[in-house]
Amino acid sequence: MKINLISDTVTKPTPEMLEFMMNAEVGDDVFKHDPTVNHLEEKVSKLFGKEAALFFPSGTMANQTAIKIHTQPSEQLICDKWAHVYNFEGGGASFNSGVSCALIDGNRGMFTANQVREKINDPNNYHLAKTSLVTIENTTNKGGGACWDINELKRIKSVCQEHSLAFHLDGARLFNALVAKGETPEQYGELFDTISVCMSKGLGAPIGSLLIGSKEHIAKALRLRKLFGGAMRQVGYLAAAITYALDNHVDRLAEDHKRAKALGEALENSFLIKKVEQIETNIVIFYVADGVDENEFVNKLAEKDILLISMGEGKLRMVTHLNFTDVMLDKTVQEIGELRL
Ligand SMILES: *Cc1c(COP(=O)(O)O)cnc(C)c1O
């Protein structure tokens, strides 16, 4: 039994999802003739109470498209110092959009409206880059699956409106936040100009993200997706997987969160572990005790067929997901308890 806790992207389609995919009606999506993609885009835009949505092959491309929509070269976006758009998209903000990032020193990937206000450049000072976009992440990836307080997001939205800034949500794991906090997609649709969501993470589809926004923004996104090389043909097979995931895999995210908490307890009980970060969703971040070699910890568990990753500086990560069952949880808890280096 291989137990893979490296990421929630390691899931494989369930037999039911595969069957649903195989039965999809498809067409050429570059001509907008794929009925399954069209259905999905309409379903997702309605879900968020927005006008339109567009299928993307990756979350990175959806985020990069959003940044390009909201900025002009030389301008600046504001994000957390741990933001995916800044750290893990290959420097794309500067390459694709020619923008710089003003980084906020946030708490677990989150920040306050006041911290945003402090980062906005004076638009009358032509020495400074023009601030044009604020982007946030929910849940935060590097922040350990933390969920924002929606009231803080409302305050940030007001700051954006005051200063005519666009507001983008990198919602790669937004559904985890919605399930954890009992919130709805519409609440987020109201707050943001554009939202990206990943379907290949906790929701268990093999590929795909969507960008959601106004008709005008999504018309621009369609052109940019072509420019970035992301216009595809009979993509309905993939869209079907996402439709299936939305209908069947959202509520069950609560199980991933419960199992993540159980992993956290097991880690807290181990003398090899110094600290476990607060667990709100499906990401468990923890630190090995002083004198414990993190690579040895990872390797010893790998010998027991349990995989996790090291994030450097003594920080380790486990992520629960669709293919991580209770039987696997029991085995992992047992192995953590018995682990000796
Ligand atoms: C995974 C992820 C993305 C998108 O990543 P892709 O691998 O390109 O789909 C974007 N933002 C966050 C926070 C993520 O975790």
Please give the average per-residue pLDDT across 74-82, as a whole number.
98
Q: What ligand 1 atom has the least distance to the C-alpha of 137?
A: 13
Q: Can you give the pLDDT at residue 129?
A: 98
The band of 91, judged by pLDDT with boundaries at 50, 70 and 90, is: very high
SS3 assignment, position 318: strand
What residues contact residue 234 under an 8 Å CB cut-off, 6+ apart?
26, 27, 28, 29, 34
Topology of the domain covering 13-248: Aspartate Aminotransferase; domain 2 (3.40.640)
Residue with CA closest to ligand 1 atom 9: 59
For the cut 90, the answer to whether the pLDDT of residue 289 exceeds it is: yes
pLDDT in tens, 165-174: 999 999 999 9
User: Any residues with CB less than 8 A from the CB of 266 and at least 6 apart, and which?
Assistant: 332, 333, 336, 337
Label residue 49 by pLDDT band (50, 70, 90).
very high
Ligand 1 centroid from CA 84, angstroms: 7
Buried b (16+ CB within 10 A) or exposed e, 215-232: eebbebbbebbeebebbb
Strands 309-312 and 76-80: unpaired
φ and ψ of 216, to 5 deg: -65, -45
Residues 157, 291 contacting (CB under 8 angstroms):
no
Tell me how far the alpha carbon of residue 192 lies from the centroid of ligand 1, in angstroms: 18
Domain extents in the chain = 13-248, 252-338
May I ask the CATH architecture of the domain 252-338? Alpha-Beta Complex (3.90)
Compute the average pLDDT of residues 290-300.
Answer: 94
Mean pLDDT of 178-187: 98
Q: Which residue among 88, 96, 211, 228 has the greatest number of ligand 1 atoms within 8 angstroms of its CB, and so is best to mutate?
A: 88
User: Mean pLDDT over all residues of the chain?
Assistant: 97
Burial string for 41-70 (b: 16+ CB within 10 Å, else e) reads bebbbebbebebbbbbbbbbbbbbbbbbbb
Provide mean pLDDT across the span 298-315.
Answer: 93
Nearest CA to ligand 1 atom 4: 59
Q: Mean pLDDT, to the nearest integer, of 116-142?
A: 97
0.75 exceeded by pTM:
yes
Q: Single out the residue of 39, 69, 33 nearest to residue 53, CA to CA.
A: 39
- Of 80, 170, 282, the residue with max ligand 1 atoms within 8 A of its CB, to mutate for a pocket test, comes to 170
Residue 341 has pLDDT above 90, yes or no: no
